Chain A
Amino acid sequence: METAELQEKIFAYMEKMKGKKKLKEKDVIKALAEETTEAPDAVKKALRGMIDVGRLMYSYGGGASSVEIPSEEYLREKGLIK
């Protein structure tokens, strides 16, 4: 599977899970590796690519970290969108 296609699937999964559960990076990798039969390392690489450009971001609460879709407000604050 092409990386871009895998990233779309990751994003769709993140949207589906939004507000339901705080997802750790490992949870996303495990779920997408099962869904797509891609190797976990390929999912991890695709996920990291999304994090590197701000399509997904790490979040933090109560001492534990998770991965989330950033809000438009936050992207605007960061200057990533107008």
Chain B
Amino acid sequence: MSGKYKTPLLDELEKGPWPSFVTEIKKAAKKSPMADDELGQLEKSYRTKRGYWKHGGIVGVLGYGGGVIGRYSSLPEEFPGIAHFHTVRINQTSGFFYTAEALKMICDIWDKYGSGLTNMHGSTGDLVLLGTTTENLEAIFAEYSSRGWDLGGSGSAMRTPSCCVGPGRCEWSNIDTLDITYTLTQEFQDELHRPAFPYKFKIKTAGCAVDCVAAIARADLSIIGTWKGNIQIDQAEVKKYADAGMNIQAEIVEMCPTNCMSYNGTLKINDAECSRCMHCIAKMTKALRSGKEKGATLLVGSKAPIVVGSLLSWVIVPFIKVDAPYTELKDMIRKMIGWWDDTAKPRERIGEVIEAEGMRSFLEAIGVPAQPQQVKEPRKDPFFFWEESDFQK
């Protein structure tokens, strides 16, 4: 079964000290004709410098509009094993925590019905299972769902929410990212599985501004843990860092983006000027802790550069309490989505719509006042559009 194709170009990618996806596909090809044909087509693509995949169309499981992405080879006679090569997305666990038993079970089902190839994880966060046929889809869904798994999001839908490891492994997390993500996933089941939006909508939750889940570069809505009040300083631990050779002036004080720190044997922080970037806390983990009143900053609008250019998120709600059952957060998300859904053209992300319509329209719709923290960068043109009534006040 394996080794049907000579792959001199792909073989080059097995050289060197790094893990190679080619090696992994070759392993899968020993028991999967799909993986073997996938190797053959990929080698041909490298040789001809052309892609041979078609994707889209009506492919999915009954009742769901997301979670399966139809993919077909444009050379089905030459590579019959991948005439159908659909992708299945499985909703990942919050923070990507799995038991070995769970992973083995996922892979065993995939070996039974698919190519055996996986991508752990896709950039949205889902477990991505690569390559199956249309006739296997309902059986795959039945097997996974009967064991407590569900499909993830795709298309014009709420995408599977994801988060950093949060309090599961990180004591600096300001919020329970795992619980927030699980709760939002349950709350927005209809939006996740029934694509009714103008385009995709991604939610990512990070426990602090270090943003290990890269929310501000990728998510339409970033929920970033933060705090109110002063950073807690243990001066004895600060001294230990200095005694151990840390150059606190250069590595901490001069790296502070708002210049709100000073050090002269004692570390001082002007908390009113602190932007909660986490640099000092992440560098001096034993000496510094975030303030005691926890919450989140909501940022909106990032995206990859598919239709227009790439965008980074910017602050919309500087501080919101995020305690279970997260009623205020859920209401805010529904307002954001509602405005976007009513305003956007097809395939426009929320960040693009805010740029087109102006921040005023968005802020009025979600009931958030204009605030200094929302200023992302100085602009020459008026991003916040004034109305005549504003000047009469």
Shortest Cβ distance from A25 into chain B, in angstroms? 4
Is B152 part of the binding interface, using a Cβ–Cβ cutoff of 8 Å? no
Chain B, residues 343-356, CB within 8 Å of chain A (1/0): the string is 00011000000000
Sort chain B's interface into a size bin. 20 to 34
Task: Kindly report which residue of chain B lies nearest to residue A69, judged by CB atoms.
Answer: B58
Q: Which of B70, B137, B156, B200 is A24 in contact with, Cβ under 8 Å?
A: B156
A60-B69, A61-B57, A64-B346 given; A78·B135 CB < 8 A: yes
Instruction: Evaluate contact between B195 and A25: CB separation under 8 angstroms.
Output: yes
A63-B155, A63-B200, A63-B306 given; A57·B58 CB < 8 A: yes
Task: Give the docked Cα–Cα distance between A61 and B156 (Å).
Answer: 10
A52-B63, A60-B56, A61-B56 given; A78·B195 CB < 8 A: no
Is B64 part of the binding interface, using a Cβ–Cβ cutoff of 8 Å? yes
Q: Please indicate the chain A residues that have their CB under 8 angstroms from the CB of B154 in the complex.
A: 60
Instruction: Evaluate contact between B56 and A62: CB separation under 8 angstroms.
Output: yes
Chain A, residues 40-80, CB within 8 Å of chain B (1/0): the string is 00000000100111100111111111001011001001110
Q: Please indicate the chain B residues that have their CB under 8 angstroms from the CB of A71 in the complex.
A: 58
Is B360 part of the binding interface, using a Cβ–Cβ cutoff of 8 Å? no
Instruction: Evaluate contact between A65 and B65: CB separation under 8 angstroms.
Output: yes
Task: Give the docked Cα–Cα distance between A78 and B60 (Å).
Answer: 9
Q: Please indicate the chain A residues that have their CB under 8 angstroms from the CB of B62 in the complex.
A: 51-54
Task: Give the docked Cα–Cα distance between A71 and B100 (Å).
Answer: 41
Instruction: Evaluate contact between A65 and B155: CB separation under 8 angstroms.
Output: yes
Count the A residues whose beta carbon is within 8 Å of the partner chain — how many? 24
Q: Please indicate the chain A residues that have their CB under 8 angstroms from the CB of B224 in the complex.
A: none
Instruction: Evaluate contact between B347 and A63: CB separation under 8 angstroms.
Output: yes
Is B199 part of the binding interface, using a Cβ–Cβ cutoff of 8 Å? yes
Is A9 part of the binding interface, using a Cβ–Cβ cutoff of 8 Å? no
Q: Please indicate the chain B residues that have their CB under 8 angstroms from the CB of A60 in the complex.
A: 56-60, 65, 69-70, 154-155, 195
Is B194 part of the binding interface, using a Cβ–Cβ cutoff of 8 Å? yes
- List 7 A-B residue pairs with CB atoms under 8 Å apart, sorted by A's residue number: A24-B196, A24-B346, A51-B65, A54-B62, A60-B70, A63-B199, A77-B134
What residues make up the interface of A, taking CB atoms closer than 8 Å to B?
A: 24-26, 48, 51-54, 57-65, 68, 70-71, 74, 77-79
The 9 closest A-B pairs by CB, nearest first: A58-B65, A65-B195, A65-B155, A61-B56, A65-B156, A25-B196, A77-B134, A52-B63, A59-B58
